[in-house]
Chain A
Amino acid sequence: MPAVAPESKTGYILDKLQSLSGVVPIGAYLVDHLWSNSYALVSIEKYNQVSGELQTVPWRIGVEAAVLWIPLLFHSLYGMYIWSRGKSNALSHPWMSNWMYVLQRWTGLLAFVFIGWHLYTERFGGHGVTRYAGVAQDMANPWYVIAYLLGVTACSFHLGNGLWNFACKWGIAITPKAQHAAAWLGAVVGVGCTLAGVAVVLGFHYAWFPLGGYVQ
């Protein structure tokens, strides 16, 4: 006989919110964040203009808390709870999707640590004011570059693979064919985000402006 479980649907709702919050707002924000930071590959002026605008949105603390901090904390902490309920077995059953299950968890943890440090150094440390020169100064440090490359890759993988999970877990992609397509969509998003992130990091490190060709 299974243990008598409490007859509550709260767990179902929390699981669904955990899954949803990874796509919206967190996943959407990651894409937007990489987009706005890609202005660093255009020019210093453009980057400072775009980041200046983002740093002067009205109700800033409230918006950041509602769109970023609360969803991030919930997604991460509840995600770790979900992780703790599973028992990885990829070594005895080394199928690719099983390795993805394991990687999804470890990249999530890596992303959580990275984002925490990133927020501490770039958001709270600088009191919410970021200029190109400041970031470039941080990025001169090779340890920063390594941490960012790891962090950006982990976040991108977690989003790409998470999109595939989302498509399956919300009953969007049902047939094996549709799930295969969803996996490819996730792969494209994951690789695209990784490439953009790596380019931005290297752009800051080398003062590299590959997209600045058409600046007047």
Chain B
Amino acid sequence: MADKTFIVRIKRQQRPDESVRWEEYELRYRPHMNVIICLRDIAEKPFTQSGVESTPVSYDANCLEEVCGACAMLINGTARQACTALVDDLEKPIRLEPLTKFPLVRDLVVDRSKMFEDLKRTHCWIPIDGTYDIGEGPRMAPSVQEKGYPLSRCITCGNCLEVCPKVNQRDPFVGAAIVSQVRLFNMHPTGAMHSAERLDALMLPGGIADCDNAQNCVKACPKGIPLTESLAAVNGQVLVHAVKSWLRGE
């Protein structure tokens, strides 16, 4: 009996300045395959459906359990992680494309450093070291911990930026993930000591005012983070901070 097969169509580009080509691969079906397995199968035998020899497809992947964010791509037009996209659940042929909101490196690999630069720009960390021992921080109430935990699950995959109409080449908007991290770090009692720096950064071009409430981010988040709640909460924080610092110098 012949093996059951299925088709994967991949948008390929050797370099950002080279023209796009679509390739189709016929892969042998096994139960429980995910998209990463498909890409590995192609790397083993990089022959297209018509038998033409090609090259292994470049892609990013790391943890294979949806905690690193590296394998974000467009799968049948939806921004999601390749490691948790199961072949059984996907409409065939499966269409793979790189994310469109980040500079392309090659094939399915994009350069997501914008997000990491924006995390730095918005001071999304908690300083725990000084030139001397600064001691223990204040205790965190369990209720605050519970609110913060879902936010801490962000994997910086960029899916929320991919689906946002305000993240594009024309606008430097930082996107929902970064705003949600600002909320997380402002929630932390030690992090709160630097909340003014984060909120000031979000008033600059590309900051929170660029959010126009299309609310796509929350639907694209693989970790179920309440991104629209974070956006509204931080919107309020920035506003209060702006008014207080303007009127009262606080």
Q: Whole-angstrom distance between the alpha carbons of A195 and B231 in the complex?
A: 33
Looking at the complex, which one of A85, A86, A171, A176 makes contact with B239 (CB distance below 8 Å)? A171
Contact A12-B207, Cβ < 8 Å, known A89-B165, A92-B77: yes
Residue A9 CB within 8 A of the other chain: yes
Find chain A residues with CB under 8 A from B209 CB: 11-12, 15-16, 169
Contact A179-B236, Cβ < 8 Å, known A5-B205, A8-B204, A12-B203: no
- Is B206 touching A174 in the complex (CB atoms < 8 A)? no
- Is B170 touching A169 in the complex (CB atoms < 8 A)? no
- Is A85 touching B210 in the complex (CB atoms < 8 A)? yes
Residue B145 CB within 8 A of the other chain: no
- Is B205 touching A8 in the complex (CB atoms < 8 A)? yes
Looking at the complex, which one of A1, A9, A165 makes contact with B204 (CB distance below 8 Å)? A9
Find chain B residues with CB under 8 A from A92 CB: 77
Q: Whole-angstrom distance between the alpha carbons of A11 and B206 in the complex?
A: 9
- For A167-204 the 0/1 string (1 means CB < 8 A from B) is 01111111110010000000000000000000000000
Interface size on B, residues (CB 8 A): 43
Find chain B residues with CB under 8 A from A93 CB: 163, 216, 219-220
Q: Whole-angstrom distance between the alpha carbons of A2 and B204 in the complex?
A: 13
Stretch at the interface among B15-23, B33-41, B110-118, B185-193: B110-118
Interface size on A, residues (CB 8 A): 38
Residue A127 CB within 8 A of the other chain: no
- Is B232 touching A85 in the complex (CB atoms < 8 A)? no
Q: Whole-angstrom distance between the alpha carbons of A10 and B188 in the complex?
A: 29
- Is A101 touching B203 in the complex (CB atoms < 8 A)? no
- Is A165 touching B216 in the complex (CB atoms < 8 A)? no
Q: Whole-angstrom distance between the alpha carbons of A174 and B213 in the complex?
A: 12
6 A–B contacts from the bound complex (CB under 8 Å) = A1-B113, A8-B205, A85-B170, A93-B216, A97-B216, A179-B232
Not counting A2-B121, A9-B242, A179-B229, a sample of 6 additional A-B residue pairs whose C-beta atoms are within 8 angstroms of each other reads A12-B208, A85-B170, A86-B168, A93-B219, A169-B235, A171-B239
Interface set of B (CB-CB < 8 Å, partner A): 77, 113-114, 117-118, 121, 163, 165-166, 168, 170-172, 203-216, 219-220, 226, 228-229, 231-240, 242
Q: Which 6 A-B pairs have the closest CB atoms?
A: A171-B236, A15-B209, A101-B214, A97-B215, A5-B205, A12-B203
